[in-house]
């Protein structure tokens, strides 16, 4: 992802709210890159500590460009550009 997309990603994280963050990031990326599709995943640090997200652990591996991870204000988010 470009530096602009990474900054956009981080600016759209809502403190302690993974659901609002995922929606805000997806909306922001779509507005900036309307010809591109993204997969956005977020979780709060609290979900990880309490075990609520245990069944949804995500393991991700990729090479090249097209993805970024941001941790900000108790929320971790990952955005991945999709292509078909």
Please state, in angstroms and rounded to a whole number, the distance separating the CA atoms of residues 31 and 24.
Answer: 11
Give the CATH number of the domain where residue 46 resides: 3.30.1140
The larger pLDDT score, comparing residue 56 to residue 24, is at: 24
In terms of Cα–Cα distance, which of 62, 74, 63, 58 is closest to 14? 74
pLDDT digits (tens, 9 = 90+) for 8-43: 667 888 888 889 999 999 999 889 888 988 999 898
Total domains in the chain come to 1
CA–CA distance, 18 with 55 (Å, rounded to integer): 16
Domain holding 62, by residue range, is: 3-82
């Amino acid at each position: 992802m470009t530096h602009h997309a990474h900054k956009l990603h981080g600016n759209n994280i809502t403190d302690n709210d993974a659901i609002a963050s995922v929606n805000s990031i997806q909306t922001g990326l779509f507005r900036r890159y309307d010809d591109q599709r993204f997969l956005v995943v977020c979780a709060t640090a609290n979900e990880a500590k309490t075990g609520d997200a245990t069944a949804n652990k995500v393991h991700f591996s990729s090479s090249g460009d097209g993805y970024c991870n941001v941790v900000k204000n108790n929320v971790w988010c990952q955005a991945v550009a999709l292509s078909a």
